[in-house]
Amino acid sequence: MGEQVTAGPEVPTGVDPVELEQIACEVARAAGRLITEERPRDLGVSAKSTRTDVVTEMDQASQELLITLLGERRPRDAVVGEEEGAAVGTSGVTWVLDPIDGTVNYLYDIPAYAVSVAAVVGDQGVEGGWRSIAGAVLNPVSGELFHAHVGGGARLTTASGTVALAATGASDLGLALLGTGFGYDAQVRSRQARLLLELLPQVRDIRRAGSAALDLCAVACGRLDGYYESGLNAWDRAAGELVAREAGAVVVGLGGPDAGRDLTVAVAPGLAGPFVELVRTLTREHVTQDH
């Protein structure tokens, strides 16, 4: 696939992506302990954009803990996250947090949710204006910690050690196992369903795990051949897309190399050509309706 990955914003002088990766791992573990070991009986659930888009008091508590720990370790960095609370910075590094990615899974106690922590450079408020240079995605129930830094490859650390990650060698779309997800808005969901109706007969099967961060890491470790979703925020994908890219997956968006709200795709390199073209066409046809 001839799509060139743009270099994107430079790593600021004096910033060490290896150190940032270690910090991301440490703070993700601390937040992971909080949301599992201190899970209250009543999660204090409230609704956000729609009544199915929920937040619990533990999403907020996890973000507050992450902001506190990052403030102690990297006081000059900025921090933004899915929930309330942020910090301004002067270092050129911004931490992008999803304190619980897969909140509905957390609510139902389905062990497929994650703490996602990414260090990015550039303007994270502008699509394509930033890039991740270090990150960690922790599934606190399985204990699987996916992590990476730019140019350093991707790794999975568990109780039994650390292994390097690589996307699959898949090259036949008809045999591809794909992941996807759906938004919280009913109209968006019906459009995403129409896309799926067209895609499903053309691939091996689809998995809907419920966490974009874990789906992107599933591509990185070869549990999926590819993943696509529309409607993701920066915090859903910032760490996972770096892990996928550093594991050799092709990560792109609807109109070019930058993943974005319109579309985020991560796919095994051997499948990138046919899959990216197909899912872009179907997304334009059914989801963004800009055909």
Q: Give the interface with ligand LIP as residue ranges (CB under 6 A).
A: 82, 98, 101-103, 181-184, 211-212, 229, 236
Task: Give which of 145, 121, 139 is closest to 131, Cα–Cα.
Answer: 121
Considering beta carbons, is residue 167 or 216 the nearer one to ligand LIP?
Answer: 216
- Shortest CB 91 distance to ligand LIP, Å: 26
User: Which residue is closest to ligand LIP by CB?
Assistant: 181
Nearer to ligand LIP by C-beta: 112 or 134? 112
Minimum distance from residue 47 beta carbon to ligand LIP (Å): 12
**Cα angle 91-256-204, degrees, rounded to a multiple of 5:** 115
| Residue 174 contacts residue 164 (beta carbons within 8 Å) | no
C-beta closer to ligand LIP: residue 77 or 82:
82
Reading the block at residue 10, the tokens are 């430079």
Exposure string (b/e) for 74-92, b if CB count within 10 Å is 16 or more?
Answer: beebbbbbbbeeebebeeb
Choose among 182, 262, 269: nearest CA to 280. Answer: 262
The least CB distance from residue 82 to ligand LIP, in Å, is 6
Least distance (Å) from ligand LIP to the CB of residue 93? 22
Which residue's CB is nearer to ligand LIP, number 15 or number 220? 220
Triad 241, 33, 213: Cα angle to 5°: 15
Q: Are 43 and 57 in contact (CB under 8 A)?
A: yes
Query: Minimum distance between the CB of residue 98 and ligand LIP, rounded to whole angstroms?
Result: 5
Nearer to ligand LIP among residue 139 and residue 270 (C-beta): 139
